[in-house]
């Protein structure tokens, strides 16, 4: 399970670099922070159950934040097309 968190760290790192190259600095910093978080967790040698609990908590925080952002912060009709 610890290797899967390294894989998550790898992919969030790839996304962070792509966001940085696309001049999306805030999103890049967010993904770099997630990369550090996932790689740090992968070296803690926790039990598989604890890794699942941490991932579940991570998904919960993401979905709450995403729902808040899309409901209250995004302006309808500003897709750019």
Q: What is the domain extent for residue 26? A: 1-73
- Tell me the pLDDT of the chain (81 aa) as tens digits: 889 999 999 999 999 999 999 999 999 999 999 999 999 999 999 999 999 999 999 999 999 999 998 898 888 777 665
Residue 63 lies in a domain: yes
Residue 78 lies in a domain: no
Residue 80 lies in a domain: no
Instruction: From 77, 2, 68, 80, select the one nearest 38 (Cα to Cα).
Output: 2
Residue 17 lies in a domain: yes
Residue 81 lies in a domain: no
Q: Model-level pTM?
A: 0.81
> What whole-number distance in Å separates Cα of residue 81 and Cα of residue 78?
8
Count the domains in the chain: 1
Helices (H) and strands (E) in the chain, counts: 3, 0
Look at residue 81 in the predicted model and tell me its pLDDT.
Answer: 59
């Amino acid at each position: 399970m610890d290797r899967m968190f390294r894989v998550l760290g790898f992919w969030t790192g790839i996304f962070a670099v792509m966001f940085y190259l696309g001049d999306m600095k805030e999103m890049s910093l967010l993904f770099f922070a997630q990369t550090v978080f996932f790689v740090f967790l992968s070296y803690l040698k926790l039990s598989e159950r604890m890794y699942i609990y941490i991932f579940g908590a991570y998904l919960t925080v993401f979905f709450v934040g995403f729902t808040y952002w899309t409901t209250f912060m995004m302006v309808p009709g500003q897709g750019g097309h």
